[in-house]
Structure 1
Amino acid sequence: MFVQVIQGQVTDAEQAHAAMDRWMEELAPEASGWLGTTAGVTADGQFIALARFESADAARRNSESPGQDKWWHEFTSLLSGDATFHDTEDVVTDIQGDPDSAGFVQVMQGAGSDPEHARDVMGRHRDEWATFRPEILGSEVAMYDDGDYTMAMFFTTEAAAREGEQKEVPAELQADMDEMNSLAAGPPAFFDLKQPWLYSPR
């Protein structure tokens, strides 16, 4: 899988949402290899999207299409500055339910000192985590630039996510969390998408 992370400050969240809906209607049917997009705008106007493709080649073909170029030019008129991009084929997914039904998505960005070790820790105790936090429908981690990452967590609702955060973590799972924290190069940044825009091929 290939993921492109796109970020920027938008001037109008509703217009940005309408533009994404228009992409889905007009361009998605021709986007060969596109697997889906998770996007949204935070309360302070930060737009973030994770676009998934079968491969880097599929993403490149899409970006080179005239329709995509025109759409992106129009979308950038809604940004107050330049957009930033992170492209990667180093992607880890953990699907426990239907992420497209999520009512709340939390995106985290940070950096780690040992991506391979982090990948190993993320692969542990998946069944136990699913039982402990049933409101988590899945996660998607895009890793790039020797340790940087963007992680999207899909929740049934924000209320359920906040309630789950308050639960006492079993010792086995707490050990996983402590190990992950030991690999972090500083605290992550959080982007709460309270009304996520979730797109998949029809």
Structure 2
Amino acid sequence: MFIQIIQGRCRDAEQVHRLTDEWRETMGPRAEGWLGGTYGITDDGEFVAVVRFESREAAARNSTRPEQGEWFDRMRQCFDGDVVFHDCDDAVMFLDGGSDDAGFVQVVQGRVSDPTAFRRFMEQPMDVLHEQRPEIIGGTIAMEPDGWFTETVAFRSEDEARAGEVKQMPEDARREWEEQMAAMTDLRYLDLHSPWFASSMRSGMGTGMGSGTGTAP
């Protein structure tokens, strides 16, 4: 699986939302390998999109479509400054991966000192997390070779997410998680209070957008 993260300072939230809906309805069905997307805008106006494709090659083929370029030209006008893209071939899902019914999504970005160890940790069974934090539906982890990562966590609701933050985990699980947190730096937490989603017929879960040339929303 290939994940691309798109971020930028948004100055027209309504138009961004309309354009992502337009892409899903008119171009998404013909986008080879597109699986889905999770989108949102933070309180301070930062747009975040997390896009899943079956492969980097499928995403690249989509970016060459003329209609894709025209669409992205319109999307770019909704931003102040540059739109930043992160392409991640190293991507995994955890728990149920996510859901188009999620009421709140938190995006966590930062850097890990040992990407291989972090991936192993995220791929292990998460029965304890599921039992202790049932409000967490699931999410994705996308990493670049230098350890920079973006994690999306889908929650049933923001109220449940905030209540769950203060719960005490069992000692072993807490210690293991604290060890992983100690290996992270430059952490940022981006709260998407009103996320929206798009899903392909090929995907059972909505989390996806495009390439440096505007691959897809």
Normalised TM-score (structure 2): 0.89
Distance 2:6 2:48 in 1: 6
Q: Which moved more, 1:106-115 or 1:117-126?
A: 117-126
State the match for 1:191 in structure 2: 190
1:80 aligns with 2:84: no
Q: Write the deviation string for residues 12-70 of structure 1: whole angstroms up to 9, x where unpaired.
A: 11111111101111110110110101111111110010110000111001111111111
Distance 1:37 1:52 in 2: 6
Gaps of 5+ in 1: none
Q: Write the deviation string for residues 168-191 of structure 1: whole angstroms up to 9, x where unpaired.
A: 1111210121111121124x1011
Question: RMSD of the TM alignment (CA)?
Answer: 1.2
The aligned amino acid for 2:133 is R
Kept in 2, the 8 Å contact 1:125–1:173? The answer is no
The aligned amino acid for 2:36 is G
The aligned amino acid for 1:142 is A
State the match for 2:136 in structure 1: 136
Kept in 2, the 8 Å contact 1:96–1:130? The answer is no
Tell me which of the two structures has the higher relative contact order, counting C-alpha pairs closer than 8 angstroms and 6 or more residues apart.
Answer: 2
Normalised TM-score (structure 1): 0.96
Q: Write the deviation string for residues 124-162 of structure 1: whole angstroms up to 9, x where unpaired.
A: 341111111111111101001410000000000000000
Distance 1:189 1:2 in 2: 22
The aligned amino acid for 2:4 is Q
Aligned ranges 1:51-70 → 2 under 5 Å: 51-70=51-70
Distance 1:185 1:166 in 2: 22
Kept in 2, the 8 Å contact 1:39–1:196? The answer is yes
Distance 2:13 2:191 in 1: 14
Gaps of 5+ in 2: 202-217
Kept in 1, the 8 Å contact 2:97–2:140? The answer is no
State the match for 1:46 in structure 2: 46
Measured after TM superposition, the shift of residue 96 of structure 1 is 2.8
Aligned ranges 1:30-179 → 2 under 5 Å: 30-96=30-96, 98-179=98-179
Aligned length: 201
Structure 1's consecutive aligned runs of 4 or more residues displaced over 6 angstroms after TM superposition are: none
